[in-house]
A and B are shown apart, each in its own frame.
Chain A
Amino acid sequence: MDDLTNEDIHSILADAQRLLPVARGETYLPLLEGKILGNLFFEPSTRTRMSFETAMKRLGGDVINLGDVKTSSVVKGETLFDTIQMVDGYTDIIAMRHPRQGAARYAQDAARVPILNGGDGAGHHPTQTMLDLFTIQQSHGTLEGLTVILAGDLRYGRTVHSLSHALVRFGCRLIFASPELLRMPPEIVEDLREHGADVTETDDLLGNINHADVVYMTRIQKERFADEDEYAKVAGAYKLHARDLDNAKSEMVIMHPLPRVDEIHPSVDKTRHARYFEQAFNGVVARMALLCRLLGIEVPAEIGGGDA
């Protein structure tokens, strides 16, 4: 995300907006016909890998997959450098996820074709951030000056790290609501404040909901806690039920990178606030826009069919 200016981000979001009918399958627009995407997922991923694949195919392109890491050359000890040399020769663009941080930039230095980072270690997950920004803009018509609560596991969740940095660039006010154990890493909070961010840290999610334009929920994993009792005691405060939303702003939206377990009760799904399933769908348009941009293919100003 650091490679992009705010204008770049706006332009990618505008491309994504125009690509909505293509993502929905209402219009066929083979902008990427003849191009091949290499999906290199060194770590399991369902959503990200599938949405890259869908994005490429909706635009008329093709996809090859690394397959199961356990049976690939990686397990024989191949370096990332060598894997990239091979896939670079087979493809026009690569989407990757890797357990080690910095892997995407490393791969970019090793490759001739563009690399899209689908998450590396606890590091960045910029395509998720792009779809999150798209969803927020779609809901509020703007990214500027919103009050955003990020709740749950802020320590290990890479989506919330990338997203916080991006939101601060657009002057959003951030409220970090998490149990003590899972607070946003202090170096990130410090970094955000250095960039002029208005950041509040709290353990009270429900008490802050009424101020929020966006509530971004994340999953708290049981494994993070010493025992089940400790988890039960703490995690309960970061679960949303429809009844918690009575006094929320009417246009407030609830987002979640999914998969959820029980941090958002199904009763919320039917409320006007629920936006997480659209958010997951938006992964396709956001990735379509990024694929076009990195391949140097311009998204037409007018795309017929469907209603964007």
Chain B
Amino acid sequence: MAEEHNMRRVTAIKNGTVIDHIPSGQALKVLELLNLTSDTSVPVSLVMNVPSKKMGSKDIIKVEDRELTQAELDRLALVAPESSIAIIRAYSVAEKLTVNLGEEVRNVVRCTFSNCITQNPREPLPHRLRVTKTDPLTLRCHYCVRPQNLDELIHNLL
């Protein structure tokens, strides 16, 4: 019941993507990761810190008229790995998706170490962070092997 009630905080969308179960307070970072903060013309609704049975409290994002791809969603692994995603077509759920962390986070963020070879923006090889542990999420740069601070990492979005 609580769930249904929360969903009514914003109207149902006709077509697009709903990202649910985002950890409370992370919705803005999710928007940033999905490049939905700036020059985007699609309507975006944001709900933050609503009660959730599963998580205590959570954030929800609804993106209208845009179906996010799996590759885009996988970028969320850094801040909202447990989120559940629904692709909406004609007001009903057409597809359910989850975030895949995989073994490597590729071309999502730049290594946080100031002397890493990848700090030169002209170097063309992909930015690669290896997942060394999933719980808690632990990442190391593929090149310099430095462990990454997740709070800092989020400021290094590509």
> Chain B at the A interface: mostly helix, strand, loop or mixed?
loop
CB atoms of B146 and A101 under 8 A apart: yes
Interface: A251 (CB within 8 A): no
What residues of chain A lie closer than 8 Å to B125, measured between beta carbons? 81, 106, 109-110
The answer on a CB contact under 8 Å between A121 and B120 is no
Digitize A96-109: 1 where CB-to-B-CB distance is under 8 Å, 0 elsewhere: 00111111011001
Q: A80-B123, A81-B125, A106-B123 are in contact. Are A100 and B142 (CB under 8 A)?
A: no
Interface size on B, residues (CB 8 A): 19
> Is residue B91 within 8 Å, beta carbon to beta carbon, of the partner chain?
no
Q: Are B120 and A101 in contact (CB under 8 A)?
A: no
**CB atoms of B124 and A101 under 8 A apart:** no
List residues of A (94-144) whose CB comes within 8 Å of B's CBs: 98-103, 105-106, 109-110, 120-124
Q: Mark B132-158, 1 if CB is under 8 A from A, else 0.
A: 000000000111111100000000000
CB atoms of B118 and A106 under 8 A apart:
yes
Are A101 and B123 within 8 A (Cβ)? no
A interface residues, how many (CB within 8 angstroms): 21
CB neighbours (8 Å) of A100 from chain B are 115-117, 119-120, 144
**Once the chains bind, are A102 and B144 in contact (CB under 8 Å)?**
yes
With a cutoff of 8 Å between Cβ atoms, the chain A residues found around residue B119 in the complex are 100
Whole-angstrom distance from the CB of A87 to the nearest CB of chain B? 16
- Among B120, B142, B146, B147, which residue has its beta carbon within 8 angstroms of that of A79? B120
Distance (whole angstroms) from the CB of B158 to the closest CB of chain A = 17
- The CA-CA distance from A110 to B115 in the complex, in Å, is 19
> Bound complex: CA of A160 vs CA of B99, how far in Å?
40
- A residues near B141, Cβ cutoff 8 Å: 102
Taken residue by residue from 109 to 133, chain B's Cβ proximity to chain A (1 for < 8 Å, 0 otherwise) reads as 0010101111110111100000000
A103 surroundings in chain B (CB, below 8 A): 117, 143
Given A80-B117, A106-B117, A121-B115, A101:B144 Cβ within 8 A: yes
29 contacts between A and B (CB under 8 A): A79-B120, A79-B123, A81-B123, A81-B124, A100-B115, A100-B116, A100-B117, A100-B119, A100-B120, A101-B115, A101-B116, A101-B117, A101-B143, A101-B146, A102-B117, A102-B118, A102-B141, A102-B142, A102-B144, A103-B117, A105-B143, A105-B144, A105-B145, A106-B125, A106-B143, A109-B125, A120-B144, A123-B144, A124-B145
Interface residues of B (CB under 8 A from A): 111, 113, 115-120, 122-125, 141-147
Q: Which residues of A contact B (CB under 8 A)?
A: 2, 77, 79-81, 98-103, 105-106, 109-110, 120-124, 187
Q: Pick the 9 closest A-B CB pairs, nearest first.
A: A102-B143, A102-B144, A101-B144, A100-B117, A102-B117, A103-B117, A106-B117, A105-B143, A106-B143
